[in-house]
Amino acid sequence: MRATPAELAVLLAGEPAGALRLDGLRVQRGDGRPAAAGSVQLAGARFVEPGGEARALDLSGWTLLPGLCDAHLHLFHEARRRLRVDLSGVRRRSELWERLQASAAESAGPLIGVGWDESAWDEPRFPTRRELDALLPGRPVGLIRVCGHVAVANGEALRLLGQPASEGLLLEGEAVALARRFPLGQPELLEAAAKAASDLARQGLTAVTDMGAADLPALAAALPADFPLRVEYFHAGPLAELPTDGAPGPGRPLGRKFFLDGSIGGRSAAVAAPYVEGGTGELLYGDAALRSELAAALAAGWSVALHAIGERALAQALDCLAALRPPAGRARLEHVELLLPGQAERAAALDLAVCMQPNFMDRWGRQGGLYARALGEGWRARFGGPADWRRVGATLAYGTDGMPAALWPALRAAVDPEVFGGATDAPEAAIAAVTGDAARAAGREVEWGRVLPGHSADFCLVERDPAADYFRGEVTPALTVRAGRPTWIASHHQGR
């Protein structure tokens, strides 16, 4: 008799009672190959070799995938978004003012808005200090752009930041300082992070690679053992803030993150050709300083992740890493949107993992979108796509950067010719980019990310193989399991 995902969830949620064998499945193992008919056996928190005494469940008709990993996310930014004024859905400038005024009427104290994206507005320009001063005089107001590299503040917020004479536009470190000046408490952040994690588990996620947030080491250390996700993280702060005790738990440090440049939306990514408005962005490190800090992190046994969006930032990353020659699996590149000839080959030769955000191109790379307005004619020829990295044999992982935190649409974008032209990914390879290769990019390829004996029993069940139709339509797992324990069960599947 066929079993349901709900029946499996009940067994997994109970006391361990020996091995379970799941029969009749189509299994996608996270290795880039198509799903195939097969069985999967697990005992407790791990997949095990098939055979021996095991309780069998017939799950015919279901497809099992490894638990997904968003390889570039800021989980606690997602938590903060739930506690700040969420401006991500704003589409008109007037709507921005209305939402801020409504939020101001509901609460006292500083007003911090997050997630705004002027490129989607009817009048695509940044808000100004003057506008915020006129809207809410005498009350601290700060608005952090969706990229996190740009913020705008009013006079009262600037006074508290010690910058009363500023025109209000805050870039890079100044934008980070705004968020830090008006912090949220740890208990409420942890509660909001748990809600965000539950939403991600509903998508089939069992892991994220967190790419930094204020107080991240302390927040990650405070995550409860039954947190829905494993949180492997890179810290953008000093090395001394990374824990070295190796304590077990869902939050585990991977190493240090380095911001080499900014964002295209902020016109601060270090590009090779000028922006339409002029300028080529900026490098946030000198070469010698970057080499020194990378060397210190690697010597301490940590991995390194380098944020590099523009061609000049990527060139600096490659030059510094070529000089240091980090061990395999200990260095990765984040975003790498713009490529000069030969840069992909250099990255592959250094065995660097690469983490892309296909949703960026889907969101900002459409005709007349942000990239065209910022970079001008011929911009698309400068962008790398998934196929450019597959061609050179690089380890490729995908993350969303929370823009938005929706991994299935990002996979759909990766395989869509309307988004990447002739540089699309293959569907099965795209799944590997958020399972086995995401684990490899995190240095955890022997622990999770694949359906293999000895790996953590992280998986999700879906009604159809999402790769078979190029991720079209909504993909909603019926069940998500981390380390052999259910973290999500869809209510409409419970009676099946």
What's the CATH fold of domain 5-66+455-493? Urease, subunit C; domain 1 (2.30.40)
Cα 415 to Cα 430: distance, rounded to the nearest angstrom: 8
Give the residue from 299, 297, 216 showing the smallest Cα distance to 255: 297
Residue position matching structure tokens 């006074």: 159
DSSP calls for 253-287: EEEEEEE-S--TTTT-S--SS--TTS-----SS-H
DSSP-based three-state secondary structure for 359: helix
Spans of the chain below 70 pLDDT: 247, 492-496
Residues 6+ apart with CB under 8 A from 436: 29, 30, 31, 32, 66, 445, 449, 450
Please classify residue 473 by burial: count the beta carbons closer than 10 Å to its beta carbon, then call 0-12 exposed, 13-18 middle and 19+ buried.
Answer: exposed
Mean pLDDT value across the chain: 94
Residue ranges, CATH 3.10.310.70, the chain: 75-181
pTM: 0.95
pLDDT at 493: 54
> Terminus-to-terminus CA distance in the chain, angstroms?
12
Residue ranges, CATH 2.30.40.10, the chain: 5-66+455-493
pLDDT at 356: 98
pLDDT at 166: 86
**Domain 75-181: top CATH class:** alpha beta
**Please, what sign has the CA dihedral across residues 225, 228, 234, 238?**
negative
pLDDT at 495: 47
Cα 453 to Cα 447: distance, rounded to the nearest angstrom: 10
What's the CATH fold of domain 70-74+185-441? TIM Barrel (3.20.20)
